[in-house]
Amino acid sequence: MDRDLIKNKIKVLRDELDFHNKLYYDENKNIISDYEYDLKMKELITLEETYPEFKNKTSPSVKVGGKITKEFNSFKHEEKMLSLSNTYSDEDLNDFDKRVKKIIDKNDVEYVCELKYDGIALSIQYENNIFRRALTRGDGNYGDDISNNVLTIKTLPIKLKNNEILNLEVRGEAFISKSNFKLLNEEKKLKGEQLFSNPRNTASGSLKLQDSSEVSKRKINCYIYSLKTNSGIISTHEKCLDYLKSIGFNVPETYKKCKNIKEVKNYIRYWESRRYDLDVETDGIVIKVNKLNYQKVLGNTSKSPRWAIAYKYKAESKVTRVRDIIFQVGRTGAVTPVAMLDPISIGGSIVKRASLHNHNEIMRLDVRLNDYVNIEKGGEIIPKITSVIREKRNKNSKKFLFTTSCPSCGSKLEITDNQAVSYCKNYNDCKPQVSGRVEHFISKNAMDIDKLGPETIKGFIDNKIIKVPADLYNIEYNDIINLEFKLEEKGKVRSLKEKSCNNILTSIEKSKSKPFSNLLFGLGIRFVGKTTAEKLSNHFKSIDNIINASYEEIIGVDEIGEKIAESVTMFFSDETNITHIQNLKYAGLKLEEDRISNLSNKLRDLIFVISGKFLNFSRDEIQDKIKLNGGKISKSLSSKTDFLISGENMGPKKKIKAEDLGTKIISEDDFISMI
Ligand code: IVH
């Protein structure tokens, strides 16, 4: 075939498929059958493969996700996956010891101490000594089957070194080591991509990826800490660990049997600072009663075992000096003071800066230039100044004054929110605000365009390729190939090569299939975090419904308060934002929830009344689940009601009425089992 003819044929197919995709996503319309759509797609893919010179990363054939993203199957845990109750002090430990000794022979109590690895809990099943399935913790009762991803863990045996033929379940913690995490981020930095935030979230996000070849690049590891199946031969937890090791599991050598609570405390002190030298992140110690028959006697509460407890280390505190206080502008225009510190090692990493949040925080601490301060790593990630050491202060020091103009564009700042936060109102032209909004839009919980990093975004903005997030969807290969931009490290210049350009374009294209709630979160509406975005999208179903909703309708949504409702109404009454949304719509993004047909007919024609608060669902979510499974919802109890789902704090009157009517009262867990 003539080259021009082929080129033209490819163009026609792409335009047609783009047109149908847009119709489908924008207007919920299908004007051709799935079969015809698939035929066209197949023809396009064949042509692109035969004539690779015409391949283009923005082609609809590259688009993944949406309809073809498969979800993980969920399975019920054979035994509920509980969590541990936490303690922070020696007194709490003494109380735990006393509680244990009240129930079991106090002269026979032994504990096993282990490190508490900071990762993701896994339940792994083996059938006839062969790996069968790996589940996440999920809601404790049901977990996601992430077997394909767990199989990429090299230290996890596929076949057990066991003489007997056994079916086993073990539990453990999947994690990314500190050294691997560093390598992963170095690689990301080189490519100018968004960095991972911390090893735990990276491990958790990686295990939920659909592409296991990508997961295997993350080099996830796993420590096993418990054996769930026991024929009765093994009598102690310590022996379980030895046995697990002998059949091929990765059990760290750091555990220790302790004869009494004093030895437990010594173990805790021993690891308090040494844990930073380990390659795995740990946030505490787990203390377990050693004898398995005693564990059985002690049993569990509905949330945690009575035979085990976690001792969590307090955040490490150190003294350093404030060398400077600078101001940063965020995506909302809020100006945040940041203390530049004499570098100091804390929690295993070097800290050079700490956020001071706002005016009030500076006033509360009365922190001044050159002050000596105590700093802590809150949640082990973001360092904060906890206090100023006044005795060490220079006598001539002056109160530190908050800036009155924007450190980036020079605009006069406006103070709102009870004098606490200063805002730069130059919304459209203040560069950190513009890039901050794009960075938020592409972040993991929003559109997840992971092949774009902050420096590349700044480069795009400086070169006038983008100004608002919607512009990302108009970028073409020729706009960015060989584009040069300055890196933060002085003097360095980066230029985009073919591979990076293609990766960026594919990652932008892929983002079009992100659910509506991600997009809503990505818009960066003040006070609308991920969960609120999910609640709004669940309730209103589409951006148009939210735009048209009154303040009263928004505040009427479960768990949405005045502050959020005000912010949402204000956002959608701004013409610039509406234009932006139109452009996102035009780019083919999902601005409404996917139309999901009934998941099942398990609840067909059954009428439910719900009351109280639920652990696993919001009210909107539980209502959706009922409808999706064929059931109906009624606001009040009547003789027609089949079930009353009772949550926490259900009104006593409802209970009495249901009993009078003979309506079955079921718990949230019963409901989950029904569906
Ligand atoms: S034993 C009731 N041992 O901590 C569960 N858990 O809140 C008994 N964890 O997500 C678990 N290291 O995955 C146990 N050495 C260890 C652990 C450990 C980390 C995690 C566990 C769970 C959480 C419990």
- 374 CB within 6 A, ligand 1: no
What is the Å distance from ligand 1's center to 231 Cα? Answer: 23
Query: Is residue 28 domain-shared with residue 54, that is, in the same domain?
Result: yes
Give nearest CA residue, ligand 1 atom 16.
116
H/E run at residue 273: helix 261-274
Q: What is the CATH number of the domain that holds 666?
A: 3.40.50.10190
Asked if the structure places residue 421 within a domain, the reply is no
Enter the tokens of residue 141. 């009762």
Q: Which one from 40, 63, 116, 291 is the annotated catalytic residue?
A: 116
189: tokens are 């930095």
Q: Where are the beta strands (DSSP E) in 188-294?
A: 221-227, 256-258, 282-289
627 is catalytic: no
630: pLDDT strictly greater than 90: no
| Contact between 177 and 221 (Cβ < 8 Å) | yes
Q: Which atom of ligand 1 is nearest to the CA of 172?
A: 13
Q: Are strands 607-611 and 643-646 parallel, antiparallel or unpaired?
A: parallel
- Which amino acid, one-letter code, is at 538? N
Is residue 424, in this structure, part of any structural domain at all? Answer: no
User: Does residue 596 lie in a domain region?
Assistant: no
Last residue within a domain, chosen from 312, 331, 359: 312
Side chain identity, residue 497: K
Pocket test for ligand 1, best of 77, 83, 253 (most atoms within 8 A of CB): 83
Q: Tell me, yes or no, whether 159 and 17 share the same domain.
A: no
Whether the per-residue pLDDT at 407 is higher than 70: the answer is yes
Ligand 1: which residue has its CA nearest to atom 18?
116
- Quick one: 578 and 438 in the same domain? no
**Half-sphere exposure at residue 357, Cβ-oriented, CA atoms within 13 angstroms:** 15
Ligand 1 neighbour 116 (Cβ under 6 A): yes
Decide if 593 is inside a domain.
no
For the entire predicted model, the pTM comes to 0.64
Instruction: From residue 253, give the alpha-carbon distance in Å to each of 113, 199, 224, 236, 276.
Output: 11, 22, 11, 17, 16
Cα-to-centroid distance, 139 and ligand 1 (Å): 15
Is the minimum distance from the CB of 80 to ligand 1 under 6 angstroms?
A: no
What CATH number is associated with residue 259? 3.30.470.30
Pocket test of ligand 1: the residue of 86, 225, 287, 289 to mutate, having most ligand atoms within 8 Å of its CB, is 225
Q: How confident is the model at residue 3 (pLDDT cuts 50, 70, 90)?
A: confident
Q: What is the pLDDT of residue 420?
A: 78
Question: Among candidates 582, 598, 593, 610, which has minimal Cα distance to 535?
Answer: 593
Residue labelled with tokens 């697990």: 244
* Per-residue confidence band for 35, with pLDDT thresholds at 50, 70 and 90: low
How far, in Å, is the centroid of ligand 1 from the Cα of 226?
9
Q: Does ligand 1 lie within 6 Å of residue 114's CB atom?
A: yes
CA pair distance 276, 349, nearest whole angstrom: 9
Average pLDDT (407-418) is 87
How much is the pLDDT for 569? 96
Nearest CA to ligand 1 atom 17: 116
| pLDDT for residue 337 is more than 90 | yes
Q: Which amino acid is at 361?
A: E
Cβ–ligand 1 contact at 82 (below 6 Å): yes
Q: Are residues 398 and 475 in the same domain?
A: no
Range of the structural domain that residue 568 is part of: 516-586
CA separation for the pair 442, 523 (Å, rounded) = 10
In the chain, the percentage of residues whose pLDDT exceeds 70 is: 93
Same domain, 618 and 641: yes
In a domain, 423, yes or no: no
CATH number for the domain harbouring residue 526: 1.10.150.20
Q: Could you tell me if residue 382 is inside a domain? A: yes
Answer yes or no: are the C-beta atoms of 605 and 599 closer than 8 Å.
no
242 shares a domain with 93? yes
Residue nearest to atom 1 of ligand 1 (CA): 225
